[in-house]
Every structure is written in C-alpha cells, then in structure tokens.
Structure 1
Amino acid sequence: MKVAKCPAEELSFTNCVIVNEKDFSPSDQYVKVKGGDGTHIYTIIRHQGVLPGYVGFNAIQRKHALLSLDQEIAVEPYYPSPHRDLIGTLVLEMDFLQKRNMQAETFNTDHLSKCVIEQFSRQCFTLGMPMVLKFQDRKALSIIPKELEAADPEALVSGRKTEPRKMNFGVLQPNSTVIFEKAPTSIVILTGKAKARSSHTSLFSADWDFQKMGIGGLDEEFIHILRRAFASRVFPPEVTEQLGVNHVKGLLLYGPPGTGKTLMARQIGKMLNAREPKIINGPEILDKYVGESEANVRRLFAEAEEEEKRMGPNSGLHIIIFDEIDAICKQRGSVAGNTGVNDTVVNQLLSKIDGVEQLNNILVIGMTNRKDMIDEALLRPGRLEIQVEIGLPDEQGRFDILKIKTAKMKEHNKLDRDVDLAEIASLTKNFSGAELEGLVKASSSSALKRYIHLGNKIEVDPNAIDKLKVTRSDFIYSLENDLKPAFGTSDEDLSKFIERGIINWGATRELVEKGLMFVKQARSPETSSRLCILLEGAPTAGTSALAAYLCKNSNFPFVKVINSQDMVGFMEASKCLRIKKIFDDAYRSELSCIFMNDLEHLMGYSPIGPRYQSLVLDAMYSLLSASPPPGRKLLVICTSKRRSVLEELGLLSAFTAVIRVPYIAHVGDVRLVLEESQVMSPDEIAAVVKEVGQGRVFIGVKKLLGLLDALRVMKGVPSSQRVDAFVNLLEDEGVLTRRL
C-alpha cells in the first residue's frame, strides 16, 4: 500500500490511520505497518476519502514513522491478545502541540484522564508514539505514552497481587488508569489526583540518610523544623491548594556562636531534592552605589520568580541562606546616617518574601547571633515565621557530637580504649558544638606532640603512624589547658577575689554554710527559677571573697563576674548593654550563676551630692526581678557596702535573701585569723592576743590580712618588735582601742 494524507482535519485528532473499507474486512480493527523507521501498530478508521490501496496518516504520524507521501509500505491486519495486550496503567507526557507564544495554563488531570478514556477507548497506544488530544475546545495538546503497564484479568478475578508487567504496545480499556506528567520544558501546570508519580518529585533526596547528617544534639530542633517548614511540601501541590494555605517561606535559626546554625542550614540544603542553595553572607548584599544593595536582593530571587511564572505550583524549591542576617535586617530607623540603605534593603527583602507578587517556591533561611537586632516585620507569619533557637547541647547532645567528631579516629583505630565519650560529655558542660570540635582537635594535637622530638631540629618518630593513639589523658589535658567554653565559668576572675582563700574565723563558718544552703536551693528543681542573694557588709569585711567562694563552689556550668573595675570609662548605655548581655548569655545555660560585685560602684553612686546613674539602676532592677526562660535556673550573688543606699533606692526588694558579713570584734576570732594566716609564730600570736585582749578590736578580715602582710617583710626582726609593730598598726588604723 501507499502513504496518503489524512482526508479530514477532524480525523487527524482521532490518532488513527484512515483506510478504504474495500481493503480490510469489517472485523479488522488494527494494522501493523512496516516501513520508514520500523514497525508500528495503529488503530484503523474506514473513510471514503482515502483511495483503495492507500493509508491516510496525519502529519505527526508521518513525522514519527519517517514516512513520505506515496511511499510504499507493507500493511497487514493485527490482532492483539485479549490476555497480554490490555493496558492497566498508561502514563502520558503532556505539552502544548504548538508552543509558540503560549502562556502557562492549568489543566486538571482528572478531567484529562476522563477525556482520554472517552476519546481513545479500545485504541492502541505505542510507547513513545506522539498523539494529539483535543481537550474542551482548547488548543491541541501533545501526548506521548511514556509508560505502559499490562492489565492482568486473572489477578483481578483471583484477587492475588502480581508485579506489574511493562509493555511497548497495548490497547486502552474503559477501566484503565491514565496518569499525566508534564514534559520537562513545558509550561503546563497540572493539578488533580491523576498526576504522574514523577510529576511530584520527592522533597528529600533518595540517598539521604538522617543518621549521617553530622548534626549532634539538635534532634528536637530538626524535628520541629521538618514539621513546620516541610510538612506541606512533602505532599503534591493540590493538597495545599485544597487546604487553602501557603508553604512556609522563612526560617530563622538563632543562638550563640558555634552551636551549629550554619551546619544545620547547609544540611537542610543537602537533604532536599532541590537546587543548590544560595548561601550569602549578610554584608555581601551591601554596596556603595545607590540602589545596588536592593538590586542584589532582587537578583537572589530572580530565578525563583521566573520559574514560578513558568511552572506555577509545580515549580521546584529555591533555598536562599542568609548568614549573619542581622547585618542587613536591623530595626528600621535604628541605623545612624541619612542614606537609609539599611531600611530600603529590609523593605526590598520583605517585598520579595511576602509582597504583592509573593513567591511560593522559596525557602529563606536566616542565621544570627542577635535576634533582638532584626526588624520585627521580618519575624511575623508569612516571612521568617519559624524561629528556632539553636542552643548549647545537653549531655546527650555533647555525646552525639563527640561521637561524630571522633568517628574517623575510631574507624582507623586511633582512639584509645580508655577514652569514654560519655565521661568527656559530662565534663564539657556548656561547650558548644564548635568548642567540642576544638577539643577533639586539641586532643589530637596533644597526642601528636608525643611523637615530635624537639632539639636542634624537629624530628618525627618514623613509627608514629602505627603507635599514634588519642588517649583519655589527652582529652583531660586539653580540657584543663587548651579549651575554655565561652559560656563556662570565669575561674580567673573569681580567683582574684579569693587569692588568700577563705579564713575560717567564728562568723565565716556560719556564713559559708548559709550561703551554700542557698546555692543548693538554687539548684533544686522544686524551687523558684530565680534566686538573688545580697551579701552586705562594711568595706574590708570580706563580702567579695565570700561571694566569689560561693560562686566557685556552686559547680554551676555558667559563672560570670560583673565588676565595676571592668567598666571604667563606660557610659550609662554601655554599662547597661554589658550587664544585659551577661544575663542573656546566662539564660542560654540550664544552670547559671552571676556575681555582681559592688552594686553602688556599678550604678555610679556618689555620697557627695548624692547622685547615681538612674539608667543603670533601672536596668539592674529589671534584670534582678525578671525570671529566666522556662527550663533555666539562675542564681545571682551580689555584694554591697551600703545597704541603706540600696534600701533607699528600692533595690533591696529585688533580693530573695540578705546576708550580713560582720567585722571581727572578738579576740578569739583574731586568734583564728592569725593562726590561719601562718605569718606569726605561736608565741607571737599569744603576745598579740594578750595585747588585743586589753582593749577593743573592730576590723574587717580583709583589713586584718592586709596588715599582716607588713610582717611578711620583717623577717629576721626580733619577735617582740614584730608584735609591737603589728599592735601599733592596729592602733594607727583605728581598729584597736586600748582600755585606760
């Protein structure tokens, strides 16, 4: 037979070949055509417009089979098997037939499926053969069979499940399942339940393993992010359309440095089956030229905008990660100067995330250490609506991080058996993830040092590779000498206050016991989350030393000192910010202790006038009265030399308890201090006690220890002279009054 054109346009949309009724018997429904690029099977329609000996093909069929007009082809009837050639599931790739000047259009796949069944039931479909579909008087659509699965009538009758059989050719049945997917470059938007499995790609990468994320101690935070930010994206777009909600478009990770914010953002980008995330450091957005900063923001969203217009709900996810987002999103109106660049950048970012033409295919992840600096408009729902605090890891979290960071050591047998990661985790309270990584590095350096010989030349043990092992002692050495957590204890600052230790004289024992009782109370989960203690006493009474002793022996993982000496030259606002920052840092730890020394000096009190810094007083009152966040316990120990001043300023009411530290007023207490100091011999102590006992003494323990220092340089001087010199010092200072 010979190739001819399709005799009528309406017949072209049937996707059948047209033959003359004289060439085939009435029972023939399908033909096998050999010619062009191979063998093809078609459904036939009889029409008088085709001459006998000719077969009419439409243009698409001729192009696919590489046929030309009047070309000779071999044609014979084809009889499909009723058991093997029936289509169970048909997957069609769809696009516009004419793509020029076409705009994105939405099609309901349920309606498309019904239309295909109605138009092409009992018709043959061949894998990869293009066909034409006329749908609801719209422009013609191109459909190409991408997958055919055979129906198994016996399985339907018996109810048993069988593996679907792939096929290259099949006949569509009225009960066949028709599924649609759009062509890769198509601007068609598909909705409905009959979308192909491949049209909604999985949100998460197929090879992703949550156990290999490399993020330790952040399980709860990660689950929260998955639930809030990605739950709606796991389902096809029509599900969210039916719910009438938009996807979450913004996420803010905040917390102290080194806790894993950047690491988590990167891992989120890796685990998602999306484009490579755009990672931008906040300051990179800013530009010296007018309007360029705003243009930089627009460029970040340009690709997502273009795809949203082209593909609509089927657009892929675009992730934009802003590191140090507080650099460009400060509170509007808070930045000095008249350029207004910061404000316009914030406005531009807001309009892109949640403006008039809002995008639904973006996820903006911001990271910052200073959430308080970010403009409030950026934190409301619809923008960076999910705010997750990435805090310091707990003991289990620290164990997980150490396990991750030492995995390579363990794999290559470089971690000694005596290293107990659970023990190290318990010793590293308030360590951040970055500090734990630093600890592992420092420990490995300590182990490497054992195999380096320092002399005229640096020599390395040639057998170091085989002998090298990181031991427990390496970790302990690094903990004691190399690594100190930023949110740990200020041991050096506390040691300055107790250089001489705590001298046990009569009142000291009772004061220490009372103070440690309050420390125990602050640790108890059954008590209030905030406990403020005031140690008040006259100058040189030893209030600071006692407070420092209580802080050091509290064993709290976070202990910081607020001292007036560290704020010399600070203005009021700077003092307030410094004090507030220490309190904010304390709230990041489960147990924290703050030592505020000399409250009068901190607030700039002067008895001449009198005057004080009101702004600092208000800040101190607010911070001492405020309760920490849920799950946090705070102990504040303050010292004062002027209780009456605090009472007059209304600050005394902020304290849970007030402990008075008295002066030494009994000769027996003087004896105890002299014996503890070990400056005098027993005979000298007896002589001094005899002299002091003849009068009245009233002295602070710090003052007494300071006077004793004068005797330390009088070595070799006769005892009688030393005693006389010390007693004279007591009288000269006015702390000893002789009886007449």
Structure 2
Amino acid sequence: MTIRMQAARCPTDELSLTNCAVISDKETQFEQHVIVRNSTHKYVFTLRTHQSVMPGSIAFSLPQRKWAGLSIGQEVEVTNYKFDKSRHCISTMMVEIDFLQKKNVDSNPYDSDKMAGEFIQHFNNQAFSVGQQLVFSFCDKLFGLLIKDIEAMDPSILKGEHAAGKKEKIEIGLLLGNSHVIFEKSETSSMTLIGKAKTRESRQSIISPDWNFERMGIGGLDKEFSDIFRRAFASRVFPPDIVEQMVMSVSQLWGFTKLLLPASNTVEVNIETAEKLLVSRLDFMASLNNDIKPAFGTNQEDYASYIMNGIIRWGDPVSAVLEDGELLVQQTKNSDRTPLVSVLLEGPPNSGKTALAAKISEDSQFPFIKICSPDKMIGHSEIAKCQAIKKIFEDAYKSQLSCVVVDDIERLLDYVPIGPRFSNLVLQALLVLLKKPPPKGRKLLIIGTTSRKDVLQEMEMLDAFSTTIHIPNISRGEQLVEALELLGSFQEKERASIAKAVKDKSLWIGIKKLLMLIEMAVQMDPDHRVSKFLSLLKDEGALGSDKFVAI
C-alpha cells in the first residue's frame, strides 16, 4: 500500500541523531522500514514515531533531506519495505567520517574500535544505503558520516554452515549486531583515527624484508650493510597498523637502541630522503589531476567551480528543475528519435541558473562535457568567438554521448540594452549549432542559460531549444528559512528570529545573492548578525518592497 505524505523537518535534535524518518504515532499502517519515493528516485528509511509530527507528514533530518534531495512540504510516496535477510544483511560496511563542523576540529586521536561498537549499538537493525549521509555523536562531538561501501553477509553463515567465501556488494542493507563497521577519514579531514576498525593506509615498503646484501657482490661491506638495515629499516618493515599495536612506538625503540650501542658504532641514516625518492602511482595520478589538463573529454574543474557551494534545495522549484534535467538526460541516453535534446534555463539574475546547469551536466556522467562560457572568450573578435564555439560543438560530435552548456547566452552575443547592440555573427552561429543534429550514432544534450528571455524571444532563439525551464527566486519566508538551515550559517534561534521578521512581508532574492548577504552578515558579532542580515535584505530591495506581492 502506497500513501502520499509531505516531507517535514525533524522535530527534535535527538531524533535527528537516530538516522530514522519520523512519523506521527497515529500512523499505524507502516512497519519498521519504508521506501520513500520522489518523482525520480527511491530511498529506504527506518521509521520512528513522535507525537509532535502531524499525521500525513514524514519528518527528515537535514542530512537525510540533503541525501534524498527533499525539500520541506514536498510530496513523497511512502511504502512498507521488508528486507530479504538471506541477501541484505550487512557483513562489512565502509564509512567515511569527518567533523560535522570545521570549528570543532581537533587533533585528538579517536578510537575506531569504540566508535564502531557505539555505532552498531546506536544504529542496530537499521537500513543503510550506499551514498547515505548521517550524523553520529561520539565523545560529545558530532561527526558527519557517508556510507561508502556495503558487503552482504555470506548466506552460508546465516544457515549455520561454513563460510563459502562469497563477498557480494549491495546498495541497501540491514545493520546487525555482528556486522563489521570500518571507518576511514575523508580526504580533506585532519582527524586522527586509531584502532583496528579503520582502513589500512596504502603503503609501499622501502626495501624488501628478505633482501640479502651478500648477493650484491660488493666485498668487504656485507656485515656493515646488514647492520644498517637492522638498525634503520627493520622496524619499518611492519605495516603501520601493526606498529600501532606495539607497546612502544618505533621512535622509542630506536632511541633505546642508540643508548645501548657505543657511540663509535652508531650509524645515522636519513630515511626521509629515501622515502622522498620513491615514485608511486599516486605521483602519476597527482600529475594527471593537477598538471595535465584534458583537451578532450571532461575536465572536472571546468564545471566544479560553478557549484563550489553545492546545490541548495530551498524548495520544490529547485527539486523540480533537477528532476526535469534528469529526465532530459535519460531522454538523451535512451531515445533513438531525439539524438539532439536542448533546454534553456531562464530566470532572474543570481537565481543559480549556471550552477543548476553544471549540476545537471555533472550528474549525467557523459564522457564529454564542455561549458561554453563568455569568460573564456574575453578579447575574442566575433570571428574568433564563432570559431571557438564551433570547435566545442565539433569536439562534442566525436563522442557518443556529449553535453554542452552554453552559459549566459546574452553575454556571448555581446548584447547591451543601450542601442541595442549584439553580435549577429555569433547569433547566427548559435542558431545553426543549436538546431544541427549530431552525426549518426551520436547523441548531444545542450543546456543554455539566460537572464533575458525577452531578448532571446526577439532574436527568435527560443524556438531553437526543445524546451524551456524557469528558474525562480526565493519568494516565500519558509523557503528563505529552509535555505538558511541548509547553509548552516545561522543558529536555530537566529533562524526563528529571521522567520518572524519576514513573515507576511514580500520577499524576492536569488540564491546567489542570498549567499553573498549571509557571508557578509556572519562576519558581525553574534548579537548583531540577524539585524545586519535583515537590513542587508532591505537595502537590496529583497524584503518589504512594494514591487512584489506579500506572502
């Protein structure tokens, strides 16, 4: 049985730490686990009840809403879900961990064994999915977790038989008391993990432990080389996690050895220099990522800079745009009748059009993604600009699946309202390329962005796009509060004060402009941040202006 419900905010901080979706205690038709579906995806949650949740609503914590792409008030379909315990019991789960808030970062070591024990005790018999985000409290600190990998339990063990050695990766699983949880810190994290319940660090031995110096054929130094190896390298043959379990660290053992040896026999060896001479695969990968930029294909930095702050799902309009974008991506992949799909994202300035276009292109995972942006063509003549745009599309035709983002079209056209003036050469080039289908066997998705839909209408460019999607500004008080909560810049009491101040007042602001005002306001003392933020909204004409309809 499927029931339509509305997504709501988790009623208490304690319930936010349970990793459970929360429903009213009057909702008796649901079992322990449910599937929550939006228009494009489905997610499995474990349920809890609370009297403060309204019937017909299902409450999610902030990390849950970020993971599932849900906004407050969004309609979802909720269905009971039962685990197949022969296939979905978790054997091992890899969890990425980092401090939830950067201001709480410290250098204290955290015992991963105790952490795993508390994790299993706290989340026992709960549903987990790969990619899921949650908050975990340990040692009076909050950590942000990301589920990286899940392995299913061997069915032979569940039947009481000997293990068959099968390891099956699964997307969704049920955490049991005998499951193994392994923590690994995120790449950018500075936290220190100790204990056995953490991933082993990649390691390459400096010298083989079974090396025999007598086979080198160098006479007269066999014993001396062996002494150097024993005193300088032998202790480093052990893996770091084994060394960690020793009573004394390697440096302590080395210090004791030096005290026991006569000064005349002491040999100093600079191990760090030898380590620096090693060239590993990581060095080559770092070179590819940082030194060599791909001339063809997908350069992640090309679109990552446009979404450096992530996508803020402040309401249903944002979710609807991303869902429509995913449908267009699927149409491009699967449809044989429409090898060329084009969409225009139009809306007021600072509404986040470029970020949404970059996000849709990134999530498509097409092998070729390019952004045609005016900032890359500064100083180009009209002919040079046409050639650069043509080159991007010609490269796209060489790939079976391609995505081209034509950003800020009116700027590409050199449009200015005084005159008016625009480049007819660039306009004609874009009109031809937007309508030209890719070669046979190739598929192309074009995403355009503009803040001047009326201008493109006069230039007859709107008809060149398959469809148009409107990107609105934030226009309601609850949308503003949701954006503030997702950004995490204001405390709960501050958000409540802001919500009270904007209630029943007109509001109209783009998410990009809102980010700028928030960052300005949070530089103030905590006692004056709210008043400064509200005054900035009024100064920008975003709050209380007669230009817009009051909410």
- Considering Cα pairs closer than 8 Å and 6+ residues apart, tell me whether 1 or 2 has the greater RCO: 2
Structure with higher Rg: it is 1
Q: Scaled by the length of structure 2, what TM-score is found?
A: 0.48
